[in-house]
Amino acid sequence: MDSVLKTSGLTKMYKNKAVVRDVSINVHKGDIYGFIGRNGAGKTTLIRMVLGLARPSNGNIELFGSNNLEKSRRKIGAIVENPAFYPNMTAKQNLEIQAILLGVKDRSIVDSLLEKVGLTDTGKKKAKNFSLGMKQRLGIALSLLGEPEFLCLDEPINGLDPSGIKEIRDLLKFLNQKFGITVLISSHILSELSRLATRYGIINDGQLIDEFSADELEQRCQSSLIIKVEDAIKAAEVIEKEVKVRNYKIQDKNTIELFEQTEKSGEINKILARNDITVNSISKSQVDLEEYFLKITEGK
């Protein structure tokens, strides 16, 4: 699979402290890559190095399979921290000014971008009077002016209300699926990333500690049935024989966790009762991205 961004051993030191330490990530073409970490974990610093806004202390960056970063960075659009625009200008005026600065000859792209990000109806309204969600969408429109193949967005949903978050989520999915734009989005709002990302990287204290696809996350966070009984070993024998379950774990002498047939809790309860096994409780467990993040960053 083609790589859009690949780092090897990327490190950034500030006053003898490693803010980013030996990070190797791989963003594939077509990914929506959720870059996860707490505030201060090193997300912004890594993005700034990728964009050429900070110089790495060590390590290597490849963009689109090339070490010619100056040329490759022309294919990137970005928002780092807060989108920059002229507050006393309209959305269209902001895009027109930026198009001039970038040397964009085809000005029809301005109206096209306003339509893409849902700002065609803002008219003469000045950007300073936009909602936070509208400002973020304007920032994304500005980052798309050079028709980039790769978007790097640092906390674009931070501070937004639920409707604003949904607007940005829908927009990024649209840009990814309709135009094939690869997206790296950093955030600590994990519930939203889980609705958007196709791959993930988790950074903690400057180190990348895990990288996985959405499918792998689903397997790691699979649902299970927690069954509390008087005799877990006896209950497991019955379940294995009569329910044909093989994927289970005996947690302790009173607890079994099933990883298949989780929709058959009522049937399993009846079978155990029929075999004179007292069931104290059956409950469904589902680990989400946030719980998985806490588990691997805190060693739980």
75 lies in the same domain as 128: yes
Is residue 25 in a domain?
yes
Cβ atoms of 36 and 86 within 8 Å: the answer is no
Domain encompassing residue 236? 222-291
Asked which of 219, 237, 255 is the last residue of a domain, the reply is 219
Q: Provide the pLDDT for residue 300.
A: 42
What CATH code is carried by the domain that includes residue 250? Answer: 3.30.70.100
Cα–Cα separations (whole angstroms), residue 229 to 68, 242, 251, 278, 283: 63, 17, 11, 6, 12
pTM over 0.85: no
172 lies in the same domain as 254: no
Is residue 296 in a domain?
no
Asked which of 164, 196, 219 is the last residue of a domain, the reply is 219
Q: Provide the pLDDT for residue 27.
A: 97
Is residue 281 in a domain?
yes
207 lies in the same domain as 258: no
DSSP assignment of 132-192, as one string?
A: HHHHHHHHHHHHTTT--SEEEEESTTTT--HHHHHHHHHHHHHHHHHH--EEEEEES-HHH
241 lies in the same domain as 141: no
Q: Provide the pLDDT for residue 299.
A: 57
Asked which of 186, 219, 252 is the last residue of a domain, the reply is 219
Torsion angle, alpha carbons of 128, 129, 133, 137, to 10: -60
148 lies in the same domain as 65: yes
127 lies in the same domain as 50: yes
Is residue 109 in a domain?
yes
Residue 288, Ramachandran bin (φ over 0: left; ψ between -120 and 50: alpha; else beta): beta
200 lies in the same domain as 241: no
What CATH code is carried by the domain that includes residue 203? Answer: 3.40.50.300
141 lies in the same domain as 236: no
Q: Provide the pLDDT for residue 288.
A: 75
141 lies in the same domain as 89: yes
Q: Provide the pLDDT for residue 103.
A: 83
207 lies in the same domain as 233: no
Is residue 249 in a domain?
yes
134 lies in the same domain as 232: no
212 lies in the same domain as 275: no
pLDDT tens figures, 8-60: 999 999 988 999 999 999 999 999 999 998 888 899 999 999 999 999 999 99
Number of domains the chain contains = 2
Q: Provide the pLDDT for residue 44.
A: 93
Is residue 112 in a domain?
yes
Is residue 297 in a domain?
no
Given a cut of 50, the residues of the chain with pLDDT beneath it are 300
Q: Hey, which residues does 260 pair with through a beta bridge?
A: none
Element spanning 119, H or E? none
- Residues whose CB is less than 8 angstroms from the CB of residue 9 and which lie 6 or more positions away in sequence, other chains included: 22, 23, 24, 58, 59, 60
Is residue 142 in a domain?
yes
